[in-house]
Amino acid sequence: MNGIRFASIASGALLLLSGSALHARTRSPARLQMDECNLLTIADASKALEQSSQPGKHMTEGTPPGCLWSADPKISDSSRKIGVNAHTLRAFTFAKKPAITTIKIEPVSGVGDEAFYQIYPNATPFIWFRKGNNAISIRLSGTKTNRFGLEQEKAKELVLAKAIVGKL
């Protein structure tokens, strides 16, 4: 009898927890209602990559979140790629004030309601922007042998951000 009672309590607790998780996820409209693969065209990606891109591919097979574009159909670690992610407004706020002091924040004007670059030492930068309740990050990355320079990466990310903000 105690085993049945425990199983019933445990099942109820799991149901309650999963319901709470679902509720928490549904409060983030940008995260659930946006398919990042619809935010850039193949032409946008190809121009930024300076090579013919494949269509955007979800970071997790078959479903959002996040989308990657690359000339390599397998989007291998050796390929140049673009990553686009939607975020909660809370994540956007945290990204503006990183806990790691070596990450530099550089404001950007002319993109949505608010935008900035996150610049990492020895790595490719991100551009983050917000328009209304939608927050997006973009990163153009590659390897040491096929990366663009920092200023060129920032300029390309800015062009991509402007293309996306027009769709939000």
- Please write the tens of the pLDDT for every residue from 42-100: 999 999 999 999 999 998 776 668 999 999 888 888 889 999 999 999 999 999 999 99
pLDDT value at residue 11: 33
Looking at the chain, the whole-number percentage of residues with pLDDT higher than 70 is 79
pLDDT in tens, 93-147: 999 999 999 999 999 999 999 999 999 998 999 999 999 999 999 999 988 888 8
For residue 157, give the H/E element and its range. Answer: helix 150-165
CB 98 within 8 A of CB 123: no
Q: Which two tokens stand for residue 146?
A: 């096929």
C-alpha Rg value of the chain to the nearest Å: 19
pLDDT value at residue 34: 81
The full DSSP string for the chain is -HHHHHHHHHHHHHHHHHHHHHHHHHT-HHHHH--GGGSS-HHHHHHHHTSPPPPPEEEETTEEEEEEEESSTT--TTS-EEEEEEE-HHHHHHHHS-SSTTSEEEEE-SSSSEEEEEE-TTS--EEEEEETTEEEEEEEE--TTTPPPHHHHHHHHHHHHHHHHTT-
